[in-house]
């Protein structure tokens, strides 16, 4: 066979190399496409991180305890002499969430009145907000250490027709519940009111009984 000219012979030798190289490029390009598609394919069945949680916040207290049994008999006798120790419950629109008991009596010329209330909130934070609102409204008092999660006491003096009345209020928060105690007194003979210390200590004593009764109702 006649020898091919040099350029043609070189071209004939290079042609298989070019074909193979082209085939290899095609194969490598073709295999990359499915891999890329597989990588970019959307995933299904994955829970969104922003999905709302269905976990409910558990409440420490779901109902108010019986208020007339929340203050010890000896406490009632010392704070409200002559009162019926059983007390009288004041009806509310929802007795599960709010219950109040009152004791009052006039012994001689001395008058005393004691109220104890329990209020149940939906959460600790709601109770904290209500507690803060009360103590802001009743400014001028001070903290009561060791009374529930937070305790506050304030005493005020009012005068009407020259008759003085001194009233103490104690507010305590225990988890999602509030305990509110009001204690006041007047002397109708002298028209004077009991001392601040007497009213304040009496209200705190009743509040401690009420907080203990609430904690024991769990």
Q: Are residues 129 and 199 in the same domain?
A: yes
Residues 78 and 170 in one domain: yes
Q: Is the pLDDT assigned to residue 36 strictly greater than 50? A: no
CATH of the domain at 189: 2.60.120
Is position 116 within any domain?
yes
pLDDT band per the 50, 70, 90 thresholds, residue 102: very high
Residue 27 lies in a domain: yes
* Residue 35 shares a structural domain with residue 120: no
103 and 156, same domain (yes or no): yes
Q: For the stretch 173-207, what's the b/e string if a residue is b when 16 or more beta carbons lie within 10 angstroms of its beta carbon?
A: bbbbbbbbbbbbbbbeeeeebbeeebbbebbbbbb
Residue at 61 is within a domain: no
Say whether pLDDT at 216 is over 70. yes
Q: Residue 138: inside a domain, yes or no?
A: yes
pLDDT at residue 58, rounded to an integer: 81
Confidence of residue 174 (pLDDT cuts 50, 70, 90): very high
Instruction: Give the number of domains in the chain.
Output: 2
Q: Is residue 139 part of a domain?
A: yes
Same domain assignment for residues 204 and 119: yes
DSSP 82: T
Q: Are 38 and 81 members of one domain?
A: no
Residues 15 and 100 in one domain: no
- Are residues 145 and 200 both part of a single domain? yes
Give the Cα separation of 139 and 135 in Å (integer). Answer: 6
Pair 14, 77 in one domain:
no
Range of the domain at 29: 1-42
Is residue 218 a contact partner of residue 65, using CB atoms and an 8 Å limit?
no
In the predicted structure, residue 189 carries a pLDDT above the cut 70: yes
Residues 131 and 201 in one domain: yes
pLDDT in tens, 140-157: 999 999 999 999 999 999
pLDDT greater than 80 at residue 183: yes
- Mean pLDDT score across all residues of the chain: 82
So what's the pLDDT on residue 19?
A: 38
Residue 21 pLDDT exceeds 90: no
Domain shared by 99 and 185, yes or no? yes
> Do 153 and 208 fall within a single domain?
yes
Q: What share of the chain is helix, strand, coil (3-state, %, to 5)?
A: 35, 30, 35
pLDDT digits 0-9 by tens, 50-92: 444 445 568 999 999 999 999 999 999 999 999 999 999 998 8
């Amino acid at each position: 066979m006649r020898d091919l000219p040099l350029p043609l012979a070189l071209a004939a030798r290079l042609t298989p190399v070019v074909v193979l190289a082209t085939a290899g490029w095609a194969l490598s390009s073709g295999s990359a496409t499915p891999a890329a598609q597989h990588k970019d394919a959307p995933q299904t069945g994955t829970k969104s991180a922003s999905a709302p949680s269905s976990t409910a916040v558990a409440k420490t207290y779901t109902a108010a305890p019986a208020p007339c049994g929340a203050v010890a008999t000896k406490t009632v006798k010392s704070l409200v002499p002559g009162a019926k120790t059983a007390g009288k419950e004041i009806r509310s629109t929802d007795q599960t969430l709010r219950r109040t008991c009152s004791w009052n009596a006039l012994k001689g010329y001395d008058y005393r009145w004691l109220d104890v209330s329990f209020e149940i909130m939906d959460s600790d934070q709601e109770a904290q907000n209500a507690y803060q609102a009360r103590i802001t409204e009743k400014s001028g008092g001070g903290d009561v250490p060791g009374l529930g999660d937070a305790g506050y006491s304030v005493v005020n003096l009012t005068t009407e027709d020259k008759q003085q009345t001194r009233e103490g209020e104690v507010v305590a928060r225990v988890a999602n519940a509030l305990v509110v105690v009001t204690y006041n007194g007047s002397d109708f003979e002298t028209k004077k009111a009991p001392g601040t210390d007497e009213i304040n200590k009496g209200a705190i004593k009743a509040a401690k009984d009420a907080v203990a009764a609430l904690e024991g109702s769990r």
